Amino acid sequence: MEEVGFKYSILASGSTGNSFYIETPKKKLLVDAGLTGKKVTSLLAEIDRSPEDLDAILITHEHSDHIKGVGVLARKYNLDIYANSKTWQMIDHRQMLGKIDVAQKHVFERDKMMTFGDLDVESFGVSHDAADPQFYRFMKDGKSFVMLTDTGYVSDRLSGVIENADAYLIESNHDIEILRSGSYPWSLKQRILSDQGHLSNEDGAAAMIRSMGNKTKKIFLGHLSKENNIKELAHMTMENQLAMADLPLGSQFTVFDTSPDTACPLSDI
């Protein structure tokens, strides 16, 4: 009997580097590799996996905390890479991945659906200061996982696209007061707080309140800033905001933390 659903691990999530692993019986994918190839290999080993197992890498956008190790891994393990055309143009123009064989480069446009073996993947655009940033919803056998970080806000349309997933990786980048009173230059603070920046703890909670449904069981807090957030504060904000919200009847879920340098345990959807 074929296994139902899929397994996944948030290998790393934070301002210093991001990577996500997902597998089905037929396919094993990596989304982003924003750390060194050596570190990503080490993170995969924490969940008893190897880059040799991978079929492809999906890219969300061209910022270094999402693609730092992509080129090395793709060359060493002959991996296919998927990104949308504007992201590829920026990567190629700036030679951000080094030399990649043209046969390994594939286009996965925003707001499209692609099937990798037995896994359907839907892309959706976000508001961030990159060429054409996009994130993904993974679907198999009626189950789904949504990853959404690196966006300045979540529109009503996007809330509909990502609604009622079984699990989410949602951005909780910063606490607004810590950011405002911190040591960052004002120009950088403005960038983070802008509509093309990052979601605050409160923004992430508001996005979940609008998007989660009675299927939602797991919420992972992602892309926390080391300088402008505190893990316990982000977690408390999410739980408190959800506790006060008018959530769908029968909602039962757990909020999980992620780490910038330690893989989350491999989880079933």
List, for residues 85-105, the tens digit of each pLDDT value: 999 999 999 999 999 999 999
Lay out the sheet containing 7-12: strands in order across.
105-107, 80-83, 56-58, 28-31, 19-23, 7-12, 267-268
What pairs with residue 167 in β-bridges? 145, 218
Length of the chain: 269
- In the chain the domains, ranked by start, together with CATH numbers, are 7-263 (3.60.15.10)
For the cut 60, the answer to whether the pLDDT of residue 2 exceeds it is: no
Interval 28-50 mean pLDDT = 99
Rounded to two decimals, the pTM is 0.96
What pairs with residue 138 in β-bridges? 121, 145
Q: Is the separation of the CB atoms in 71 and 111 below 8 Å?
A: no
**Calpha distance 127→220 (Å, rounded):** 20
Interval 243-250 mean pLDDT = 84
The tokens describing 109, both together, are 């446009």
3-state secondary structure at position 144 = strand
**DSSP label at 51?**
G
